Amino acid sequence: MDLRPVYVRVWNATRRIPRGRVSTYGAIAALAGVPGQPRLAGYALHNIPAGADIPWQRVINAGGAISLKGNPGARQRLLLEEEGVEFRKTKVDLAAFGWPATLRNKQKHRNRG
């Protein structure tokens, strides 16, 4: 199966995330037409062509944390902080910084308990 068309859709969905916002692998997968496939979105982001203008750092896991370990994760956090995304210890408040708005609304509902 040729995944290139799916990867391109994931990359295009990622390009839509505004500066200072984050999205989740699952939300990006859904926007790319592969709902329920967050790992596929992760694979696509891992395979971004060198020099591409895709803001990969704006995609985090559903818990609001950076999934990358070590230096790549530290770099991702630094890039997000430079864009104004705030962390509470190791997590981003998706209700405040999530994109699209439906992601923020979903998180606000969850936070009400």
Nearest-angstrom CA–CA distance, 46 and 58: 13
Averaged over successive runs of 10 residues, the pLDDT of the chain (113 residues) comes to 89 98 98 97 96 97 96 97 97 96 70 56
Instruction: Delimit the domains of the chain by residue range.
Output: 4-112
- Written as six digits, the tokens of 12 are 């295009």
| pLDDT on residue 98 | 97
- DSSP β-bridge partners for residue 24: 60
Nearest-angstrom CA–CA distance, 44 and 11: 7
Residue of 85, 86, 66, 84 whose CA lies nearest to 76: 66
CATH fold for domain 4-112: Arc Repressor Mutant, subunit A (1.10.10)
| pLDDT on residue 83 | 98
| pLDDT on residue 107 | 64
DSSP states of 15-74:
HTSPTT-BEEHHHHHHHTT-TT-HHHHHHHHHTPPTT----GGGEE-TTSB----HHHHH
Residue of 32, 89, 45 whose CA lies nearest to 64: 89
| pLDDT on residue 103 | 75
> If residue 92 lies in a helix (H) or strand (E), which one and from where to where?
strand 91-92
